[in-house]
């Protein structure tokens, strides 16, 4: 097994870890950086389309917020999360996408007036809607057979529902 720390290595937000187990490419969390970007996240060492599985520890945006971007870049694997995390992501990722679009539109209104190039939102509501189709909702405390090399079990850590 190979493990690389993509984000949240020196700080709290932007949680993302890359694992290679056998021939499978796996992410544990795919979070967005929040607050001052002091330590820039590493790039994921493989193409988004090559990621087989994502395991989402919980729905907070610093653990789930870049899933729509992963989808926009070609990810079509499976996302394992608890039932509650899946339901919360359904609300939070669409909301996050709405904020991205709203902020881009606001900046572009100013950019147009100043004759500056327009910005593109990091991802769209469509990307958020798209990635939600790849969630595999799981129960707490039940072993989930993912592939030959991997079985996972979600436990309640008492941090957030899901
Ligand atoms: Zn959290």
- How far away, in angstroms, is 118 Cα from ligand 1 center? 33
Which residue ranges form the domains of the chain, and what is each CATH number?
2-153 (3.60.15.10)
- How far away, in angstroms, is 84 Cα from ligand 1 center? 14
- How far away, in angstroms, is 67 Cα from ligand 1 center? 16
- How far away, in angstroms, is 47 Cα from ligand 1 center? 26
Give me the tens of pLDDT residue by residue for the chain, a chain 162 residues long. Answer: 899 888 776 666 789 999 999 999 999 999 998 766 555 666 788 999 999 999 999 999 999 999 999 999 999 999 999 999 999 999 999 999 999 999 999 999 999 999 999 999 999 999 999 999 999 999 999 999 999 999 999 999 999 999
Please give the full DSSP string across the chain, using - where no structure is assigned: -EEEEEESSSSSSS-EEEEEETTEEEEE--PPP-S---SPPPPPSS-GGG--EEE-S--SHHHHTTHHHHHHTT--SEEEEEHHHHHHHHHHHHHHHHHHHHHHHHHHHHHHHHTPPPP--SS-HHHHHHHHTTEEEE-BT-EEEEETTEEEEB---SSS--
Write the pLDDT tens digit of every residue in 42-69. Answer: 678 899 999 999 999 999 999 999 999 9
- How far away, in angstroms, is 78 Cα from ligand 1 center? 21
- How far away, in angstroms, is 159 Cα from ligand 1 center? 7
């Amino acid at each position: 097994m190979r493990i690389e720390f993509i984000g949240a290595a020196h700080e709290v937000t932007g949680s993302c870890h890359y694992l290679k187990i056998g021939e499978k490419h796996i992410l544990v969390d795919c979070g967005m950086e929040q607050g001052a970007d002091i330590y820039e996240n590493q790039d994921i060492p493989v193409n988004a389309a090559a990621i087989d599985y994502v395991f989402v520890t919980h729905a907070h945006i610093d653990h789930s917020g870049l899933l729509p971007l992963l989808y926009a870049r070609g990810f079509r694997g499976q996302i394992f999360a608890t039932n509650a995390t899946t339901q919360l992501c359904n609300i939070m990722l669409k909301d996050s996408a709405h904020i991205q679009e709203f902020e881009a539109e606001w900046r572009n209104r100013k950019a147009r007036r100043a004759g500056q190039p327009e910005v593109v939102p990091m991802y769209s509501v469509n990307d958020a809607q798209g990635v939600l189709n790849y969630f595999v909702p799981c129960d707490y405390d039940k072993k989930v057979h993912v592939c030959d090399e991997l079985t996972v079990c979600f436990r309640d850590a008492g941090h957030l529902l899901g």
